[in-house]
Amino acid sequence: MHRYRETLPRIRITRRDMMKRVARFRNLKGSDGGLPDSRYPGCERILYNVIGFQPPKNEGSGGVTSPVGSKASRLAAVKISEGFNLGYCRALPGHGPMFHNHDTNETFIAMTGTWRASWYDNRGQVQHVDLKPLDLISFPPGVARRFMNVTPGSKRRHSILMFVIGGNAPRAEFTAASIAELVEAGYWKPEPVAKQAAKKKPRKKKVVKAKRKAPRRTK
């Protein structure tokens, strides 16, 4: 009789520890800031960091940020680093981020409403596809993309988009055209070019020689 053997490592976990991996939507802390376009008209949105999303290395260097912004990247509901991140975007119709790029895969899944995902094709032309609830699109690293809530009907009704991004601390970067538009409109101030700090030569320690005391004369 053939005996089946497990080959993958297996562990047991307490209910208390497993509950740390449970996220209730009603308890999530969303953020509406922390990205260059957060306050730009038409780009306002709330981002929820559900799983992972730790601040990336060199955060704030140039235009590099976390995909969820500096604020939300510190508000993960489930704080794990297991190779992927998951979050939600909540926005009104006509709202969404500007064109940006990621260093890892990003997958969009429409949860409610209709969302338009746009990208630049091989000819530099903007293409798009509309996602209905449970439809998805998966962007490879390096493709400039954006998304927007295009749900018809009331302009006051929010919709939710889920995004899954690879890596443990993924990086995002807005396109030069997006940044130029933000700068021109006064919504983003470019950082001055950092000057390399001149290397200071270590100061030589002054060696203080002890003064020899003159020998006392004996009478």
Q: What is the pLDDT of residues 135-184, one digit of tens each?
A: 999 999 999 999 999 999 999 999 999 999 999 999 999 999 999 999 99
Instruction: Provide the domain limits for residue 145.
Output: 26-185
Q: How many domains does the chain have?
A: 1
With respect to residue 17, please indicate whether it lies within any of the assigned structural domains: no
Across 39-43, 63-67, 85-89, 203-207, least confident range: 203-207
Q: How far is CA 181 from CA 34, 42, 45, 60, 171, in A?
A: 18, 13, 18, 19, 21
Please check the confidence at residue 193 and state whether its pLDDT lies above 80. no
- 214 versus 56: the higher-pLDDT residue is 56
With respect to residue 45, please indicate whether it lies within any of the assigned structural domains: yes
Q: Check which CATH number belongs to the domain holding 129 and give it.
A: 2.60.120.10
With respect to residue 211, please indicate whether it lies within any of the assigned structural domains: no
With respect to residue 8, please indicate whether it lies within any of the assigned structural domains: no
With respect to residue 196, please indicate whether it lies within any of the assigned structural domains: no
Q: How confident is the model at residue 63 (pLDDT cuts 50, 70, 90)?
A: confident
Q: How confident is the model at residue 50 (pLDDT cuts 50, 70, 90)?
A: very high
| pLDDT at 100 (0 to 100) | 97
